Amino acid sequence: MAISDEKYVSFTTFRRNGERVSTPVWIAPLADGTAGFTTDLVCGKTKRIANNPQVELQACGARGAVKPGAEVVRATATVVSGDAMRPVRQAIATKYTILGRLAAIFEQVVKRFRGNKPSGTGAIIVQFD
């Protein structure tokens, strides 16, 4: 099974000092062989990717506990926004059906209540090494 076929994936980025930071995410395969997930553009993982695009992925549960024996998959991450994130949104909505649509609605509600705080939804696309 490909990592992008898993329901939840532990997505690991690296701080400047090399410290690992893992977050559970939904992920979906894309037509070109990459995979992606949506995220807030103003968050730690997007800042860390700007400094170091090398990431690791492992199958995990909803709370981020890595599955026993899960393989570490290395990849290079790119943060995208606007029209470039459309294929990722469509793939997530297709894979996660109702939950994916509810998450998109939740993103819109959160966006309205943020006021003047910088925000925006984007996506992270991973190219497997």
* Residues in the chain, pLDDT under 50: 118
pLDDT at site 108: 62
Classify residue 29 by burial, with Cβ atoms within 10 Å: 0-12, 13-18, 19+.
middle
The token pair that represents 74 in the structure block: 């290395």
Q: How far apart are the first and last CA of the chain?
A: 16
Local structure of residue 60 (DSSP, 8 states): B
Amino acid code (one letter) for 113: F
pLDDT at site 110: 60
Domains of the chain: 3-128 (2.30.110.10)
pTM above 0.75, yes or no: yes
Amino acid code (one letter) for 7: K
pLDDT at site 118: 47
Digit-coded pLDDT (tens) for 35-64: 999 998 889 999 999 999 999 999 999 999
